[in-house]
Structures are given as structure tokens and as C-alpha cells.
């Protein structure tokens, strides 16, 4: 949202909307972002250029092309540096901290994150989860018989036939918050959830209710930058306080168990 | 004379504590670390969070983690009622909420009035007790908020 405001041209903005002081700040912020992004890009380019040289001798031509690019950016980058250097020190520090934090978030986003993220909101034992639609292969009411498979973990509720394929139903609640589930797998199977969401090839996540679909913007989510613990929880929907669930990461966790 | 008074004041600084109740005891935390006190509204649970994390709240567009202080202090859990409050604190560069039974008052104390607490029990539970102070024939337990969680736990607070 803030970035959109920055891009507003003078023709679009009325005098009441932007004061001269705000204009300076917006220009300064743009300068800092452009500067940091160009620096970051340069690092990436240098890194990729090094890899190309080491691994693929035939790509030397590509390396030469990349080296030309920084020269093309020299002029605006110098302007940005000048604008930035004219700012008071505390504002410089604040802008750098802000830009660094935003770059950290940007670099930590999963690959599937677009400008808008269509999600399905579901209820799992009282907790609202938002699952990106792009990661789902199907949504269905759970009204079929489930065949339990012996010697499976307690989150494995059994197998059902779905669209002529055998699909394993995963007890989502047991997987993501085992401490809250006191029933046995048999009890969970008998009083099973109402729906399942197919993810990956042959797995489906159980859920108690389908709430609605929403289209999220990136700034409507508080992103988790480091995800060592619970890598499937990529962020929190700020307004609804729902957990944004990366079904691919959950799938990885299931497959590693 | 003035110099002697100044030295006494400097050697025994006055501190202000926000006091709150948990079970039958009164606790105090440094007022400088308190941002605000909230009535308890919707707290959204977070799957996979540690047992002492009650959930998260939306505080004017910011997501704030709420700690169940009773659980953290090893006290039995209690139902949230009209007196329950969330004290929003800043500690270790993190803003978190701590759920308490009720908020009492702000008291002034001289540092010298805080006695070190008798160290009983395991180190884990007593590390965040800074000391005790006698107030109107009652004991006030002074809590060091920075030690309420370990460094790793504080870092985790921003990641829910």
C-alpha cells in the first residue's frame, strides 16, 4: 500500500494529499529503496556471474552482458545517493532500517507469493487457516468411507477414493497442533472433519469448515522472516489473525516423517 | 549538604512499578517498559506455539503475541474475567502482551527497598524474580521482564 502511494504522480495528487515535506520524504524513500535494491541486484548478478564462470564455460558471453548493466544505472544511482546524503542522519538511519527490513521480507517470501494471493480460509479445530489456492489441487466434502491403514502415525486417518485415485487423509489439526488433540486416531476417524483439501499428488488435509475465499495483498500479511520452526506457517493475516499456511512446506514435513 | 542529598538520591534511585495481581500475589514491573494496558478482547490461538503463549491480538494493525503469565510463572490457569488485563510491554526489542488477573496501581519505590528474593526452587522459575519489597505489610514481587523469556524465546516472539 505504501509503495503504491509513493508511485502517485503529481497529477494524481491534490495539494491537500501531499505536503512538500511528505514529497521530500517519499522521494527520499524511493531513493533509498532504489539504491538498496540496485545494490542487492548487483550482489545477485555478481554471484550468478561467478557461478556461470565456474560451471558453464560456454556462458562467457552472458557474463559480459551482465557486466555492462551497472554502467547503465550509474546516473540514477548517483542521484539517489545525493538525495540520500542530504537527509538528516536520523532519517537516513530510519530509512535504511526500514528498507533493510522490507528487503529481508521480500527475500524470504515463498516462490508462490504474487502481488495478490488468492486464499481459501478454512477452520481447523477452531483455528482459521488461510491456504493459497495455487497450492490446492481440489476441495471436497468428506462423505466417503475411510479405510484405515495399520501401523500408520496418528495423523494418518486412512485412505479414500477421490476422483478414481487413492488419497491419504491427513489429520491437519494433529499435525500442526498435536498438543491440542486428545482424541485417539480412531475417535478422530469416527467423528471426522467435514471437508478435505487435496494437496500434492495423493494427500488431503482435513478441515472442519470452509469459510470463504479472500484475495490478500502482500502488506496484509505479517511475514515470518525466519521459519526454522513451523516452516509451514509463513505469516499471519494482520486483520483476521489467521495463519497463512504453506501447504507445500506441510507436505515436505509429512514426507519427512 | 546539597551534595550529600544528591549523592544519596543517585545511589538510591527511585523507580516506578506497575503492579498487577496473579492468583493471590502482587507483582511489579518497571513502568518504563509498559506501553499500555488493554481489556481482554479476542485472542487468536496460534498452532504450534509454546504452551505459555496464549495467542495473538491485533493492536491497531500490529500483531502482538500474548503470554499467559500464570502459565509462565507455573501457576494454575484461570478463566479470563472482567478484571483480566493484557499489559503491553516492550522488552528485549520486542513488544508483547502479558495476561494478568488484574492491574492494581503504580507505586514508587527506592531501589534499596527491593530485597533479593530467597532463592528457592529451580533456577528456571526464579530467574525473572528481581526481588521483593514490603508494601503496607504485604510483599510485592518485583519482576525483571527482560528475563521473563530466554534470548531464543524473545526472538521467537516476533515470529508468530
Chain A residue numbers touching B48 (CB-CB < 8 A): 176-177, 229-230, 233
Residue B150 has pLDDT above 90, yes or no: no
Task: Report the distance separating Cα A66 and Cα A201, nearest Å.
Answer: 40
Q: Quick one: cell of A118? A: 488468492
Residue spans of the domains in chain A: they are: 2-108, 116-256
Question: Taking all residues of chain B, what is their mean pLDDT, rounded to a whole number?
Answer: 87
In the block, which residue shows the cell 497450492?
A: A135
**In this predicted structure, what is the pLDDT of residue A197?**
95
**In this predicted structure, what is the pLDDT of residue B38?**
97
Q: Across-strand partners of B36?
A: B88
Task: Report the distance separating Cα B128 and Cα B154, nearest Å.
Answer: 14
Residue of A nearest to B158 (CA): A224
B 24-53 residues with CB < 8 A to A? 42, 44-48, 51
Does residue A1 sit at the B interface (CB-CB below 8 Å)?
A: no
Does residue B133 sit at the A interface (CB-CB below 8 Å)?
A: no
Residue of A nearest to B50 (CA): A179
Residue of B43, B48, B94 to mutate when probing chain A, most A C-beta within 10 A: B48
Residues of chain A with pLDDT under 50: 1-20, 22-23, 43, 46-71
Q: Which helix (H) or strand (E) holds A44?
A: helix A20-55
Strand extents, DSSP E, A37-115: none
Phi/psi-derived region of residue B93, left when phi > 0, alpha when psi is between -120 and 50, beta in every other case? left
Task: Report the distance separating Cα A249 and Cα A253, nearest Å.
Answer: 6
| CATH class of the domain whose range is A116-256 | mainly beta
Domains and CATH numbers, chain B: 2-157 (2.40.50.180)
**In this predicted structure, what is the pLDDT of residue B124?**
59
A128 contacts B56? CB cut-off 8 A:
no
B45 contacts A127? CB cut-off 8 A:
yes
**In this predicted structure, what is the pLDDT of residue A34?**
66
Q: What is the mean pLDDT of residues B106-114?
A: 91
Q: What is the distance in angstroms between the Cα of A237 and the nearest Cα belonging to chain B? A: 9
Q: Across-strand partners of A127?
A: A124
Chain B residue numbers touching A242 (CB-CB < 8 A): 44
Chain B residue numbers touching A241 (CB-CB < 8 A): 42, 44, 55-58, 63
ipTM of the complex: 0.77
3-state SS, residue A107: helix
Amino acid at each position: 500500500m505504501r509503495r503504491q502511494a509513493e508511485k502517485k504522480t503529481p497529477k494524481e495528487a491534490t495539494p491537500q494529499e501531499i505536503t512538500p515535506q511528505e514529497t521530500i520524504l517519499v522521494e527520499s524513500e524511493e531513493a533509498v529503496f532504489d539504491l538498496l535494491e540496485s545494490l542487492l541486484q548487483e550482489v545477485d548478478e555478481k554471484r550468478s556471474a561467478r557461478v556461470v564462470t565456474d560451471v558453464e564455460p560456454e556462458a562467457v558471453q552472458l557474463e559480459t552482458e551482465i557486466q555492462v548493466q551497472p554502467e547503465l544505472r550509474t546516473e540514477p544511482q548517483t542521484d539517489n545517493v545525493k538525495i540520500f546524503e542530504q537527509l538528516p542522519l536520523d532519517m537516513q538511519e530510519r530509512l535504511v532500517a526500514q528498507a533493510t527490513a522490507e528487503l529481508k521480507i521480500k527475500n524470504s517470501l515463498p516462490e508462490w507469493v504474487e502481488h495478490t494471493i488468492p486464499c481459501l480460509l478454512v477452520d481447523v479445530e477452531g483455528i482459521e487457516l488461510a491456504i493459497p489456492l495455487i497450492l490446492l489441487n481440489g476441495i471436497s466434502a468428506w462423505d466417503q468411507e475411510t479405510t484405515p491403514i495399520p501401523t500408520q502415525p496418528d495423523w494418518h486417518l486412512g485412505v479414500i477414493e477421490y476422483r478414481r485415485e487413492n488419497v491419504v487423509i491427513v489429520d491437519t489439526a494433529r499435525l500442526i497442533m498435536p498438543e491440542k488433540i486428545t482424541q485417539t486416531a480412531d475417535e478422530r476417524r469416527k467423528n471426522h472433519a467435514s471437508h478435505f483439501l487435496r494437496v500434492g499428488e495423493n494427500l488431503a488435509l482435513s478441515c472442519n469448515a470452509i469459510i470463504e475465499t479472500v484475495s490478500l495483498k502482500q502488506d496484509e500479511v505479517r511475514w515470518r522472516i525466519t521459519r526454522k520452526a513451523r516452516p509451514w506457517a509463513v505469516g499471519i493475516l494482520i486483520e483476521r489473525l489467521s495463519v497463512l499456511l504453506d501447504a507445500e512446506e506441510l507436505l515436505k514435513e509429512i514426507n519427512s516423517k | 549538604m546539597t551534595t550529600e542529598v544528591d549523592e544519596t538520591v543517585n545511589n538510591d534511585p527511585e523507580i516506578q512499578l506497575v503492579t498487577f495481581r496473579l492468583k493471590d500475589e502482587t507483582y511489579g514491573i518497571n513502568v518504563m517498559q509498559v506501553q499500555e494496558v488493554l481489556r481482554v478482547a479476542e485472542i487468536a490461538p496460534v498452532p504450534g506455539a509454546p504452551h505459555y503463549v496464549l495467542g495473538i491480538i491485533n493492536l491497531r494493525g500490529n500483531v502482538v503475541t500474548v503470554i499467559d503469565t500464570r502459565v509462565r510463572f507455573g501457576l494454575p490457569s484461570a478463566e479470563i474475567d472482567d478484571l483480566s488485563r493484557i499489559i503491553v510491554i516492550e522488552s528485549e526489542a520486542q513488544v508483547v502482551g502479558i495476561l494478568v488477573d488484574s492491574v492494581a496501581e503504580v507505586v514508587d519505590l527506592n531501589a534499596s527497598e527491593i530485597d533479593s528474593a530467597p532463592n528457592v526452587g529451580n533456577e528456571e522459575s526464579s530467574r525473572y524474580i528481581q526481588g521483593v519489597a514490603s508494601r503496607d505489610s504485604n510483599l510485592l514481587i518485583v519482576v525483571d521482564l527482560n528475563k521473563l523469556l530466554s534470548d531464543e524465546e524473545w526472538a521467537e516472539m516476533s515470529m508468530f
